[in-house]
Amino acid sequence: MTTISRRTVLQGMGVSALATALSGLPVLAQDRTAIRIGYAISKTGPNAAGAGISTTPNYLLWVDDVNKAGGITLSKLGVTLPIEVTEYDDRSTAEETVRAIERLATQDNVDLILPTWGTGANLASGPTFDRFGYPQLAGTAVTDMAPDLVKRWKHSFWMLGGGHDYAEALVALLVKQRDAGTINNKVAIASVADGFGIDLSKAATPAFTEAGFELVYDKTYPLGTSDFAPVISEVAGLGVDTFVAFSYPPDTFALTQQSVVANFSPKVFYLGVGTAFPIYPGIAGPNHNGVMGIGGIDPDSEALAAYFERHTALNGQAPDNWASAVTYASLEILAQAIERVGDIDREAISAEISSGEFDTIIGKVKLVDNQLRSLWTVGQWQDGKFVGLAHTERAGAREPVVPKPAWVPAA
């Protein structure tokens, strides 16, 4: 078979003809040695802990899984190619995330770009993904703006739902506990003053009020707060059975440890991002049992068990019990969409992600208006596993344990 290089095809053309040819000529198989994937992720800064558990390990695992399987098939080019990665540290700033994405698109000329970690950074980088036509599969962003964003940014896909999904599910669970006489009617909410906390608290406050709960405390705290003693001291004197914190990982860990020290042990202790992390039991010690938080998994899923095993073997740590599996599933969706399209045609890939049905570790997935709508919403640590609770939409849910066990005093 005769092969013709791109250089040979273009030789001798005039300037205008050359420009036309460059814009329309498909990438030939011999011009490619890999599918080039880029991403900017928080390697340093306050977001590094979350990114280092929920996002980066899943990117590494996906690349390893794909390459060990031989790569991704581009049928229109007649090749199967491995993934090649370009990675930047966004230093936990939205500005650096946007700059890095622009660099990946315009200087590195990568084929596809994976999103960063966190709600705020994904919202900030959405316009850049869309401007350059890259599909944005946001696996770690919770926002009620998703239905409007997908109309504005047709290449964006939102995999973790909105604040109302989690807030309303939590309230529904607590209504059952209150009506059964297990908890009283008083609720305290503390939320981090960032995109995630704002979105969740904005949804939770009216949901609790409409359900007839008495919100005796509902305040935000600055991002980066480490001393929660004033919050705990104030809430402890209000007689609440339910404490809810829409927190980020450092806050989640500090709130747990400082509540134990203060012996603030309400019947329902619910925290945000980080509760589902595999390191949480090590941070909380025996006090992790009974703690509720955002997310959850089906611990009986064979596909998830196999994923957990591969993830742990490659990364030396288990995935989290919420966004990790969703993030990995989003990458499975991306790979399947590429193979169905058969080429690196970003418009066609985005269209396939939007309309197709995919086999993933979390089951069959078909997005609704570019959003994953079958969600785990509330989880709880039970017998060493962070399980999804009974009122969620997914199979394999558990009943909540309320009240949670009393704290074991810190040694």
What is the C-alpha to C-alpha distance for residues 36 and 112, in angstroms, rounded to an integer? 7
Q: Answer yes or no: are the C-beta atoms of 389 and 397 closer than 8 Å.
A: yes
State residue 13's pLDDT score. 40
Beta strand pairing status for 292-294 and 378-382? antiparallel
Assess whether pLDDT exceeds 60 at residue 9: no
Q: What is the C-alpha separation between 116 and 101, in angstroms, rounded?
A: 10
CA separation (Å) from 373 to 71, 147, 206? 29, 11, 22
Span 317-349, pLDDT tens digits: 999 999 999 999 999 999 999 999 999 999 999
Task: Mark whether 172 and 260 lie in a shared domain.
Answer: yes
Q: How far apart are CA 239 and CA 56, in angstroms?
A: 41
Question: What CATH number did the domain enclosing 254 receive?
Answer: 3.40.50.2300
- Summarised one tens digit per residue, pLDDT across range 68-112 is 999 999 999 999 999 999 999 999 999 999 999 999 999 999 999
In a domain, 13, yes or no: no
| C-alpha span between 337 and 335 (Å, rounded) | 5
Is residue 309 located within the same domain as residue 342? yes
Asked whether residue 262 falls in the same domain as residue 346, the answer is: no
Residue 46 lies in a domain: yes
Residue 213 lies in a domain: yes
Q: Is 333 found in the same domain as 212?
A: no
In this structure, is residue 397 part of a structural domain?
A: no
- Which residue's structure tokens are 């001393």? 227
Number of domains into which the chain is organized: 2
Mean pLDDT of the chain: 91
Say what the pLDDT of residue 393 is: 60
- Residues 282, 177, single domain; the answer is yes
In a domain, 8, yes or no: no
Same domain, 251 and 119: no
Its sign, for the CA torsion 329, 334, 337, 338, is negative
d(CA 295, CA 320): 9
Does 47 fall in a domain? yes
User: 240 by DSSP, 3-state: which?
Assistant: coil
Are 155 and 224 members of one domain? no
- Contact status, residue 296 vs residue 51, Cβ threshold 8 Å: no
pTM: 0.86
Neighbours of 133 (CB within 10 A): 14
Q: Quote the CA–CA distance of 381 and 401 in Å, as a whole number.
A: 9
Q: Is the Cβ–Cβ distance between 156 and 136 less than 8 Å?
A: yes
Q: Is residue 121 part of a domain?
A: yes
Domain that holds residue 177: 163-299+376-388
The mean pLDDT value for 239-255 works out to: 96
The answer on 90 and 177 residing in a single domain is no
The first and second tokens of residue 256, run together, are 């747990």
Same domain, 305 and 260: no
**pLDDT tens digits, one per residue of 114-130:** 999 998 899 999 999 99
- Decide if 19 is inside a domain: no
Q: pLDDT per residue over 44-73, tens digit each? A: 998 998 899 999 999 999 999 999 999 999
In this model, does residue 294 exceed pLDDT 90? yes
Other beta carbons less than 10 A from residue 172's beta carbon: 15
Percent of the chain exceeding pLDDT 90 equals: 84
Q: Find out whether 148 and 200 touch, Cβ atoms under 8 Å.
A: no
Q: What average pLDDT score do residues 371-384 get? A: 93
Please tell me whether residues 167 and 152 are part of one structural domain: no
Shared domain for 202 and 93, answered yes or no, is no
Residue 31 phi/psi, 5° resolution?
-80, -10
Q: Do 327 and 380 reside in the same domain of the chain?
A: no
pLDDT by residue (tens digit) across 384-400?
899 999 665 667 789 99
